[in-house]
Amino acid sequence: MTDMNMQEYIEQAEKDLLHTYNRYQIVLDRGEGVHLYDMNGKEYLDFVAGISVFALGYGNKEYNDTLKNQIDKVIHTSNYYYNVPAIEAARALKKYSGMDRVFFTNSGAEAIEGAIKTARKYGFLRDGKTDHQIIAMNHSFHGRTMGALSVTGNPHYRDAFEPGIGNIRFADYNDLESVKKQVNDKTIAILLETVQGEGGLTPASEEFMKGIRQICDEKDILMICDEIQCGMGRTGYPFAYMKYGVKPDVMTCAKALGCGVPIGAFCMTEKVGQASLVAGDHGTTYGGNPLCCAAAAKVLEIMERENIPAKAKEAGDYLWEKLDEVMNSYDCITEHRGRGLLQGLVFDKPVRDTINKALEKGLILINAGSNIIRFVPALIISKKDIDDMIVILKQAIEEA
């Protein structure tokens, strides 16, 4: 198959792969810095970063060498044994997040599953009951597995797969009174993205975050923050909840944690760790394997050493300024949302054509919903890269 051209590969993929993605019509071959290259050698400025994954950019030598060295040692052993990379990654993640206990998963969706099980076990140990309820947010997105789907606040994703796991109630994001109306004596957890991603790049307000923390403290309810997309430096803080001076009881992360290898985690306070999951309650074959954890440990080391969140904040401020200029230049753009290097422009129409035009011109963008363009580049993005992106974006808007 190595002598096939790009179009032939695309046609082969459509015969072999389950069609659950409407993919853009290019085959990506390699990356360098903040650029990707297709099979034909065409260069693309990447403002997607694998959907907030490649925080350090492509081809980071220190990161790549770490993976190569670990491959030559051992890739997988199972969780029946300890391994040094997992221990080092857990210690680094605890330090970076301020949490106390870590469970490594293969993905963000699995991290959400673990957080849900943690909450339910916490409730069971508290009062012996199994009918506890979790409050999640409308317009949220937490993943595609059955548990994660059940707490995703968009019926479009859930309808064909109902019934979900049950005992889930939904409240309105950034509306504390809406949350309070859903709280009852069965509530065991309140789950929210600190910045909603798929739901429209909307940050939580300070009043909302502090109000939920107060409710949880008063009623012995767990506050669960989904930091899968907005964490790991993207909003200008190691984790987005740190802006508010609020600490969750349980936190989920993934994406940039591994910068390309499949790893996620759910973390918790010592209090929750001592009163929830025990041996036999939860497990994973691949989670915490030496290869993925070596990557995570190195990512966390680089993030802290090079103060990547501060760089993301500086670049994010510049991106905000430039996207504001774009919004003010086009009547079809109705709103600009986000924080740090997690931003979105809201259009009055679907954005697929605009994204396709940008792709033709060598710019990779992604949507969030049908009418929002999401900007989630690598955290090492430069002002020049942002300027280059803006030029192409304007051309794409005008042509679309």
Q: Does 67 map to a domain?
A: no
* Residues 254-263: b if buried by 16+ CB within 10 A, e if exposed: bbbbbbbbbb
**Residue 3: predicted pLDDT:** 79
Same domain, 382 and 261: no
Separation of first and last alpha carbons in the chain: 36
Total of domains in the chain: 2
Same domain, 340 and 388: yes
CA angle 176, 145, 195 (to 5 degrees): 35
Whole-number Å distance between alpha carbons of 72 and 61: 17
Same domain, 233 and 325: no
Same domain, 20 and 168: no
**Domain containing 24 — which CATH number?**
3.90.1150.10
Q: Does 325 map to a domain?
A: yes
- Distance, CA of 234 to chain centre: 10
Q: What are phi and psi of 371, to 5 degrees?
A: -120, 20
- What's the pLDDT tens digit per position in 26-49? 999 999 999 999 999 999 999 999
Same domain, 293 and 352: no
pTM, whole model, 2 decimals? 0.96
**Residue 2: predicted pLDDT:** 66
Span 328-337, average pLDDT: 97
The domain in which residue 145 lies consists of: 74-305
**Residue 86: predicted pLDDT:** 98
Domain end position, chosen among 248, 273, 305: 305
- What's the pLDDT tens digit per position in 90-123? 999 999 999 999 999 999 999 999 999 999 999 9
Region of residue 324 (phi > 0: left; psi between -120 and 50: alpha; otherwise: beta): alpha
